[in-house]
A and B are shown apart, each in its own frame.
Chain A
Amino acid sequence: GDSVTQMEGPVTLSEEAFLTINCTYTATGYPSLFWYVQYPGEGLQLLLKATKADDKGSNKGFEATYRKETTSFHLEKGSVQVSDSAVYFCALRDNSGGGADGLTFGKGTHLIIQP
């Protein structure tokens, strides 16, 4: 079945540091890939998405590139802020037609940014 693997957290960085959160996936078809963010006490918010190989999703300074050859969708940001502290979830959605329409999530990576 489909699966998503994320780097374990928590990840602690200083403000203005470069961020990478690794995400790799296995899927039977050609999935769409998503990053969701969960701020403390809130629900899941879509951060960015990519729907086919070599697509780059970007939003709020974050970006991730759909790499089919390495089955990866790593999240990056050049200069993080304290307000970026949250839990980040990588997720996929199977588009093969016969697959589940529900999202398959990674375990989440807790990011802590210190001033």
Chain B
Amino acid sequence: EPEVTQTPSHQVTQMGQEVILRCVPISNHLYFYWYRQILGQKVEFLVSFYNNEISEKSEIFDDQFSVERPDGSNFTLKIRSTKLEDSAMYFCASSEAPGVQPQHFGDGTRLSIL
């Protein structure tokens, strides 16, 4: 069964450094998403991406965040200048279509900011 893959599984970064989290969505999917889950809290929506542009973003997704689809397979989340509070599990998801079609999630990248 096709799946969403994320790399790395764990990223440790110094505060203030830039970090790029990578995702390979399911190949025939057109809609891509990033979520985060701070330890012990709920999963929160960050951003959705379609047709090479952001279609929706939450208030969490401020100017330090950016997303990109640099080629036909990868989808990346960049955090420009990391803060301690960015420590969380980051999940990538993809779906064939919005609305009723389910989103399929990767296993996540655990980001630890020191």
| Residues of A bordering B, CB below 8 Å | 32, 34, 36, 42-46, 49, 51, 89, 91, 93, 95, 100-108
Chain A residues whose C-beta falls within 8 Å of the C-beta of B98 in the assembled complex: 93, 101
Most buried by B among A46, A95, A101, A105: A101
> How far, in Å, is A40 (CB) from chain B's closest CB?
12
Binary interface profile of B, 41-69, with partner A (CB < 8 Å = 1, else 0)?
A: 11111111000000110100000000000
Q: Decide: B41 and A95 in contact? CB cutoff 8 A.
A: no
Is B33 in contact with chain A by the CB < 8 A criterion?
yes
Q: Decide: A102 and B56 in contact? CB cutoff 8 A.
A: yes
Q: Decide: B41 and A103 in contact? CB cutoff 8 A.
A: no
Interface residues on B, range: 20 to 34
- Given that A102-B48, A103-B45 are contacting pairs, would A43 and B105 also be in contact in the complex, using a CB cutoff of 8 Å? yes
Q: Decide: A89 and B43 in contact? CB cutoff 8 A.
A: yes
B97 nearest in chain A by CB position: A101
Q: Decide: A106 and B42 in contact? CB cutoff 8 A.
A: yes
| Residues of B bordering A, CB below 8 Å | 4, 6, 31, 33, 35, 41-48, 55-56, 58, 91, 93, 98-100, 102-108
- Given that A51-B100, A101-B98 are contacting pairs, would A44 and B43 also be in contact in the complex, using a CB cutoff of 8 Å? yes
Chain A residues whose C-beta falls within 8 Å of the C-beta of B35 in the assembled complex: 102-103
Q: Decide: A105 and B42 in contact? CB cutoff 8 A.
A: yes
B31 nearest in chain A by CB position: A101
- Given that A100-B56, A102-B58 are contacting pairs, would A43 and B106 also be in contact in the complex, using a CB cutoff of 8 Å? yes
Chain A residues whose C-beta falls within 8 Å of the C-beta of B48 in the assembled complex: 100-102
Task: Tell me the complex Cα distance, A106–B42, Å.
Answer: 6
Chain B residues whose C-beta falls within 8 Å of the C-beta of A91 in the assembled complex: 43
Task: Tell me the complex Cα distance, A108–B35, Å.
Answer: 15
Chain A residues whose C-beta falls within 8 Å of the C-beta of B100 in the assembled complex: 32, 49, 51, 93, 95
Most buried by B among A42, A45, A46, A102: A102
Q: Decide: A100 and B108 in contact? CB cutoff 8 A.
A: no
